[in-house]
């Protein structure tokens, strides 16, 4: 009997030891479903992050952590925005991130391996990059910019939700979703009853130079911005996905009330009003005649895309296009409160004002 008891006790101890040794292995990783619907196993403790091809994400990650220490690699065009906006001023450590291993839509996996990232984020629409990363052994997480129909609010909410799942200690999913939806609903409540004849007609100048003029058709972010503030995108008839090439003759035919200039072009409102680029003469367009040409904000990133700046950009755009409906909204004060409440970022008055007066160099790389 004693021998039997001894054997049983030894077996229990052995099982206990095995169980204890196996438990940490199970707790070292978590499995998530990314935006490309891949099941991805990532470490619980992620300390080194590389970002490939999803340009706004380094800025979103930085404010999510309130630090850029984890970011070891990012696209050069993301770095250009960081240097031209507030990101590098608030988080100078982001300047230490490597940009050489990410060039356009290609990734140098050999260079990336040397950085030893725990996870690599990439654009889920770029299947070739995703496959290359997985084949090289990286924990590759696809992030989508258009899965939610170019809806910037929904996209931001879903980005933060996935990050909160991967980094539960920094969980901001409900906070961001609640606040961004509140701002969206505020805008909707005020623009919903604008008569069709009173809706502003907006031309989105996505990129512009002596040789190029690109706008947003109905399948790009410009359409969502116009819809979100109860305005008309004059390019809605253009069905191409992403940006669409147009010419000044077409802009004259549309004769927009408002021209919205993104930070994917070096052009400033004064360049349009003064017809200072190439031989184009904008002087006969209603928006130019009435001085209604505006540069989109640049906070943590180029605000035309989804990002941490999206809710404040929405307020700014609504008030800019319909000042009489939003006269009581102090966008600068709202911006200071938003960044502090959601991300713990305390902005000075000067920093807030810089968001709404972006420099041309923010377009470097495009």
Segments making up each domain of the chain, as ranges: 29-170, 189-363
Q: What is the pLDDT of residue 366?
A: 87
**Three-state secondary structure of the chain:** CHHHHHHHHHHHHHHHHHHHHHHHHHHCEEEEECCCCCEEEEECCCCCEEEECCCCHHHHHHHHHCCCCCEEECCHHHHHHHHHCCHHHHCHHHHHCECCCEECCEECHHHHHHHCCCEEEEECCCHHHHHHHHHCCCCEEEECCCCCCCCHHHHHHHHHHHHHHHCHHHCCHHHHHHHHHHHHHHHHHHHCCCCHHHCCEEEEECEECCCCEEEECCECHHHHHHHHCCCEECCCCCCCECEEECCHHHHHHHCCCEEEECCCCCCCHHHHHCCCCCCCCCCCCHHHHCCCEEECCECCCECCCCCCCHHHHHHHHHHHHCCCCCCCCCHHHHHHHHHHHHHCCCCCHHHHHHHCCCCHHHHCCC
Dump pLDDT digits (tens) for 13-61. Answer: 444 444 444 443 447 999 999 999 999 999 999 999 999 989 999 999 9
Contact by Cβ (8 Å): 90, 348: no
Q: What is the pLDDT of residue 235?
A: 98
Question: Is the model's pLDDT at 7 over the cut of 70?
Answer: no
Second CATH level (architecture) for the domain 189-363: 3-Layer(aba) Sandwich (3.40)
Q: What is the pLDDT of residue 101?
A: 85
Question: Is the model's pLDDT at 110 over the cut of 90?
Answer: yes
Domains 29-170 and 189-363 share a fold: yes
Q: Return the CATH number of 29-170, one of 1.10.3720.10, 3.90.1150.200, 3.40.50.1980, 3.40.50.150.
A: 3.40.50.1980
Contact by Cβ (8 Å): 208, 265: yes
Dump pLDDT digits (tens) for 213-265. Answer: 999 999 999 999 999 999 999 999 999 999 999 999 999 999 999 999 999 99
% of the chain beyond a pLDDT of 70:
92
């Amino acid at each position: 009997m004693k021998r039997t008891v001894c054997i049983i006790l030894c077996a229990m101890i052995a099982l206990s030891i095995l169980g204890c040794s196996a438990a940490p292995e199970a707790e070292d990783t978590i499995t998530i479903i990314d935006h490309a619907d891949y099941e991805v196993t990532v470490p619980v403790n992620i300390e080194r992050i590389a970002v490939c091809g999803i340009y706004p994400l380094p800025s979103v990650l930085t404010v999510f952590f309130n630090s850029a220490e984890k970011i070891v690699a990012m696209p050069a065009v993301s770095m250009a925005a960081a240097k031209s906006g507030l990101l590098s001023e608030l988080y100078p450590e982001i300047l230490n991130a490597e940009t050489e291993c990410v060039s356009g839509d290609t990734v140098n996996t050999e260079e990336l391996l040397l950085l030893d990232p725990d996870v690599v984020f990439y654009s889920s629409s770029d299947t070739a990059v995703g496959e290359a990363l997985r084949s090289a052994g990286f924990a590759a997480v696809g992030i989508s910019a258009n899965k939610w129909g170019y809806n910037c609010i929904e996209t931001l909410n879903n980005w933060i939700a996935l990050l909160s799942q991967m980094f539960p200690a920094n969980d901001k999913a409900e906070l961001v979703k609640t606040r961004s939806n509140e701002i969206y609903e505020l805008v909707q409540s005020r623009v919903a009853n604008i008569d069709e004849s009173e809706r502003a007609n907006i031309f989105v100048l996505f990129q512009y130079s002596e040789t190029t003029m690109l706008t947003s058709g109905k399948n790009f972010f410009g359409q969502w911005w116009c819809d979100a503030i109860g305005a008309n995108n004059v390019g809605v008839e253009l069905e191409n996905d992403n940006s669409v090439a147009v010419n000044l003759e077409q802009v004259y035919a549309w004769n927009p009330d408002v021209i919205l200039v993104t930070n994917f072009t070096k052009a400033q409102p004064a360049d349009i009003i003064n017809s200072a680029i190439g031989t184009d003469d904008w002087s006969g367009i209603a928006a130019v005649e009435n001085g209604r040409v505006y540069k989109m904000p640049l906070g943590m990133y180029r605000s035309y895309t989804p990002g941490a700046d999206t809710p404040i950009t929405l307020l700014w755009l609504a008030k800019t296009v319909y000042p009489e409906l939003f006269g009581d909204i102090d966008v600068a004060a709202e911006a200071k409160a938003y960044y502090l409440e959601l991300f713990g970022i305390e902005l000075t008055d000067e920093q807030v004002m810089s968001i709404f007066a972006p420099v041309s160099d923010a377009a470097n790389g495009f």
